[in-house]
Structure 1
């Protein structure tokens, strides 16, 4: 029965709205500015029919739902008001059928059932939407304020004579003036309270109810913005109500019942998010364009004193508005996303921003902070940490908003081609767990980051190789410097030793030979000659000893093994030389010289039972000197000599010197 009554109201509302359009067409063209801007043809008619229809749909599902009956009431009463207003204007201004008294009564009824009643009913709708209950018992006071405001307005109308009523001119008495002062502020205050209630309900709601309340908030915001736009434009153009000023408001009227009904019926809420998004963008763009266009036209016209063609002024204003709107477009789109999608928009805004930054941050030092910030903002985390694993180097870790030692509560690995490159971890605020949608978002972020991580890891690995090459180059340069210095020192020592042990015997030789000529063949001459021979032999032996360790002639003539045997026999060193058959052959001169130097230098401190082993293993000459007291030998000199020919020294065992030289 309730549903049938509601649909009867819808039918009557549609008939009255159609009658309103017919009456309006009798005294003014329907497409004229007066019909569209002042009377709202056809937008207001569509809105009232939509209110009644959406209300009937709600009543058909929930018979006693207050929002359904309030929407039916708004549509039905507004259709009566529209028809009565049209008839009153027809009679009063265009000599329509009927007496002046009948026109006054029609105008009085139009005011009684018109905008003030609709605003009061809308205030109650916003207070109880979407479930038909107040946010709390205290919010009933806001509904009382709205009803008192409308009661005061109705009382003001009761002080006027209906037969003499003029819509545009109210001759109020003291009581009527007092009631008018109370009525509109109370209704406005109740509406503001209803908006506050909607915002609070939106902040406290979750899930599907949050989507419902968001649609209601969007419908209210569209009407509020349209009213602001109307006031601004009318202020600019001197209070003249044009179609440009009222068009956004009239467009928002039909949206109101549609969004309310969808919110209450919960019908495909999420499918309408895109429509809401585009509607908000269109509304904000229209408001900006209207205000900017009107302001620029008036400003330019005032500057040029209307001496320029109106077409060129309009063209200039249009171009300037279009250029000015482009920088604001990003802000408008973000606002529309937040209104349409709520917190669901924030993660993907962060992901979109991260995608733009990803192309500009190839370096790990800038990539990791960008990934950490994007992950933290996407899921509204308290902090986030990103780790990049670089092969052969330490892990790189960055946190957002600041460096933290806390371990992430939840981590998602970053993989590329089956290889784990790092991880993204977050710490959520207390009392807010990580939702499945947040987990999926982090996985999407990890997938998007994988290629960048791979590039960053390769860059870090390459940088590590370059650094290692720099170190090796520096070490080789230092080794060469030591070799040159060692050669110089050896040369200087050899020169000093020759001067001390050889030249000291040979320098006085010419003078002593001259004295022998004078002495003849005496006994003293024979003794002196014997001394000269002894001194000469001593000098030659010293020279031989000095040159054996540096440039042994047998090394170049017979090879490494024979030169070492000769050295051991000549010096009487207590050591054994063992040469495998593979090593008893000739090697490159540099290899033989380096191995010989290593053995001779090591044998300087060899103990009893020392042994030299020569072998060839995998195309490398391996030399081992056992029984060496390494604290008494020049280890660095051995290392430099071996590394100079590409060999590798092994000096871990304190009684063993081992080198491996490629042959």
Structure 2
């Protein structure tokens, strides 16, 4: 119910504001100076709509929040006042529809619900903002003063005839004059006291509430400065209300409900420090430039009796003001920091300077002195120390303002996650201890330092990965060279095998054929021919075996143990082959090929009495070749082939090659 009523008031305010613009546009252009400077088009319309809308938003969240209802009241009554004032001016000055008495009544209603009511309501808003409660019971007097002031003002209006009311000519009697004297000063006094209450609340508040009150104080200060500006400009131009004089005040009106709603709803409060800081610097700079420019122009014009060109006077004044502002710039910035950050302005200036140094200096080691200095200056310590452990380097420690003789009195660790990178320690002057806010400040500094040094650690890790990648690249290049060398060795071995096993049988054939031709026929010739055929068959069989490559066809067809027996029988060696029954079965093709190569390579360089053993131990295929000559085998080729199938070769002393290859043993 409360929320619906608030939104209904907001909707009615929009309708009334639109009607006000429509009525005003009938008898004067909306962009004329009278419409903008006197009636406030369109700023006041935006302000009243903003008050009603922001009040409805607050009520939608907290149905009984007094600030929400006060804003709704200000927006709704101000919209009625605007429409009534527009109609009254239309009837009285522009012969609008309706009798003169109706225009007077409209003007009387506009005065009753206009600015005085809004100012009194704003005084109460500032007294209870941001939580809806007074700072203490003593501040009730300020609310009473504002209410009495508006009551006196309304009483003054009641002494006048509504039908004959004229906003520019009040024929007040003794009672009306007395009430007028009481009403306006009381409303102004209540508003001033309400602003004082806001300042007191700002000094006492902390955390999120401080952010809320600070934003409310900004809105109040904006309106107060606009009023001062309006009074000064109107005093200079003879009381004439121009758009230049009223523009800052009219701009501050829409800002007021927006800032109040943000403060009460606590929306993105902690992003306002920088905005407040820059706004104060801009405002002070503008005030200094305006006063200085006006004073110099008047002074120069008076000295030369207006005989100098206006352009050159303006140019000279601008240059002198710019030069004069530079010595004051540091003071202005310091004042802005104090207003934006409170009593912690100077420590946070040290943190800000430290952050800039973090961004400018990539090396964390060179920033240790800056860390120590920032910590010491932030808490006004007698001395401070910063120590950090950079990956791959020794512990580094720096002190400020000079090397410390002993350990610091208070330390805060510098870490990232569960990893401790170092510490920051301070020693306070005698008789002074660290406050909780100082401890929190040092923790913030440690967080910034940890981030910088964590980046350095990541950089070190990346450098280590690059080194490892270079090593891997080198290993791959070395492996490629080994593969090329192995290919060359295989070709040479094949050539030697052809010369030994094939050509050795084929080379004597021409000579033996000539001998057979001379011998003619007979038993001897038949025996020689039979030997010649046997030698040729042996050469062809060896050639067929060699053309199948390193691994014979029998390995893929019959398995490892049978291929090894065939190789031993074909080469006529006496090497024994002992196969465990569990190992006399088929294994993966890669495993069988690797073991066959290992055994053949070891036998080629071994003694004639070498011995081969195949067994299953646990889940490994274990191969042992005894009687191996260590210096005669290609160890790297054996290692490459065995490791390719997940095995581990061992060349044990004195004369034994052992290979363990994990294999899946069926149950």
Instruction: Check 1:165–1:301 CA distance in 2 against 1; reply closer, same or farther (3 A cut).
Output: farther
In structure 1, the partner of 2:97 is 97
- TM-superposed CA distance for 1:239, in Å, is 2.9
Query: How many residue pairs are counted as aligned between the two chains?
Result: 440
- TM-superposed CA distance for 1:228, in Å, is 2.0
Q: Distance in 1 between matches of 2:448 and 2:312?
A: 51
- TM-superposed CA distance for 1:196, in Å, is 2.1
In structure 1, the partner of 2:426 is 425
Q: State whether residues 52 and 74 of structure 1, in contact with CA within 8 Å, keep that contact through their aligned partners in structure 2.
A: yes
Instruction: Check 1:397–1:249 CA distance in 2 against 1; reply closer, same or farther (3 A cut).
Output: same
- TM-superposed CA distance for 1:349, in Å, is 1.4
Deviations 1:603-640 (A, max 9, x none): xxxxxxxxxxxxxxxxxxxxxxxxxxxxxxxxxxxxxx
Q: Distance in 2 between matches of 1:296 and 1:38?
A: 31
Deviations 1:430-483 (A, max 9, x none): 66365545313156479999xxxxxxxxxxxxxxxxxxxxxxxxxxxxxxxxxx
Q: State whether residues 146 and 191 of structure 2, in contact with CA within 8 Å, keep that contact through their aligned partners in structure 1.
A: yes
Structure 2 residue 239 is matched with structure 1 residue 234: no
Q: State whether residues 414 and 446 of structure 2, in contact with CA within 8 Å, keep that contact through their aligned partners in structure 1.
A: no
In structure 2, the partner of 1:2 is 2
Q: State whether residues 37 and 247 of structure 2, in contact with CA within 8 Å, keep that contact through their aligned partners in structure 1.
A: yes
Instruction: Check 1:168–1:321 CA distance in 2 against 1; reply closer, same or farther (3 A cut).
Output: farther
In structure 2, the partner of 1:11 is 11
- TM-superposed CA distance for 1:23, in Å, is 2.7
In structure 2, the partner of 1:646 is none
- Counterparts of 1:380-419 in structure 2, within 5 Å, are 380=379, 384-386=383-385, 408-410=409-411
Deviations 1:214-238 (A, max 9, x none): 1111111111122222223333333
Q: Distance in 1 between matches of 2:298 and 2:85?
A: 33
Q: Distance in 1 between matches of 2:407 and 2:139?
A: 45
SS at match of 2:436: coil
- TM-superposed CA distance for 1:161, in Å, is 2.1
Structure 2 residue 424 is matched with structure 1 residue 440: no
- TM-superposed CA distance for 1:177, in Å, is 1.9
Q: Distance in 1 between matches of 2:98 and 2:323?
A: 54
Instruction: Check 1:322–1:406 CA distance in 2 against 1; reply closer, same or farther (3 A cut).
Output: same
Q: Distance in 1 between matches of 2:344 and 2:73?
A: 36
- Counterparts of 1:190-589 in structure 2, within 5 Å, are 190-308=190-308, 310-342=310-342, 346-352=346-352, 374-378=374-378, 380=379, 384-386=383-385, 408-410=409-411, 424-427=425-428, 429=433, 432=436, 434-436=438-440, 438-442=442-446, 444=448
SS at match of 2:31: coil
SS at match of 1:257: helix
Deviations 1:277-312 (A, max 9, x none): 444444444444444444445445555555555555
Q: Distance in 1 between matches of 2:85 and 2:41?
A: 13
- Counterparts of 1:38-187 in structure 2, within 5 Å, are 38-187=38-187
Q: Distance in 2 between matches of 1:251 and 1:321?
A: 27
Q: State whether residues 381 and 429 of structure 1, in contact with CA within 8 Å, keep that contact through their aligned partners in structure 2.
A: no
Q: TM-score, normalized by length of structure 1? A: 0.57
Q: Distance in 2 between matches of 1:125 and 1:214?
A: 15
Q: State whether residues 218 and 339 of structure 1, in contact with CA within 8 Å, keep that contact through their aligned partners in structure 2.
A: no
Q: Distance in 2 between matches of 1:376 and 1:192?
A: 41
Q: Distance in 1 between matches of 2:350 and 2:206?
A: 22
In structure 2, the partner of 1:537 is none
Instruction: Check 1:93–1:310 CA distance in 2 against 1; reply closer, same or farther (3 A cut).
Output: farther
Q: Distance in 2 between matches of 1:53 and 1:445?
A: 45
Deviations 1:463-508 (A, max 9, x none): xxxxxxxxxxxxxxxxxxxxxxxxxxxxxxxxxxxxxxxxxxxxxx
Instruction: Check 1:314–1:249 CA distance in 2 against 1; reply closer, same or farther (3 A cut).
Output: farther
- Residue ranges of structure 2 left out of the alignment (5+ in a row): 359-366, 389-396, 454-667
- TM-superposed CA distance for 1:259, in Å, is 0.8
SS at match of 1:172: coil
- TM-superposed CA distance for 1:16, in Å, is 1.8
Q: State whether residues 369 and 399 of structure 1, in contact with CA within 8 Å, keep that contact through their aligned partners in structure 2.
A: no
- TM-superposed CA distance for 1:254, in Å, is 1.2
Instruction: Check 1:20–1:384 CA distance in 2 against 1; reply closer, same or farther (3 A cut).
Output: farther
Q: State whether residues 119 and 187 of structure 1, in contact with CA within 8 Å, keep that contact through their aligned partners in structure 2.
A: yes
In structure 2, the partner of 1:493 is none
- TM-superposed CA distance for 1:262, in Å, is 0.7
Deviations 1:550-593 (A, max 9, x none): xxxxxxxxxxxxxxxxxxxxxxxxxxxxxxxxxxxxxxxxxxxx
Instruction: Check 1:396–1:16 CA distance in 2 against 1; reply closer, same or farther (3 A cut).
Output: closer
Deviations 1:3-23 (A, max 9, x none): 121111112211222222233
Q: State whether residues 233 and 291 of structure 1, in contact with CA within 8 Å, keep that contact through their aligned partners in structure 2.
A: no
SS at match of 2:244: helix
Deviations 1:496-551 (A, max 9, x none): xxxxxxxxxxxxxxxxxxxxxxxxxxxxxxxxxxxxxxxxxxxxxxxxxxxxxxxx
Q: State whether residues 376 and 383 of structure 2, in contact with CA within 8 Å, keep that contact through their aligned partners in structure 1.
A: yes
- TM-superposed CA distance for 1:276, in Å, is 4.1
Q: Distance in 2 between matches of 1:93 and 1:120?
A: 30
In structure 2, the partner of 1:31 is 31
Q: TM-score, normalized by length of structure 2? A: 0.57
In structure 2, the partner of 1:559 is none
Deviations 1:149-201 (A, max 9, x none): 11111112212222232222323222222212221222222222212222222
Q: Distance in 1 between matches of 2:381 and 2:422?
A: 24
Instruction: Check 1:396–1:26 CA distance in 2 against 1; reply closer, same or farther (3 A cut).
Output: closer
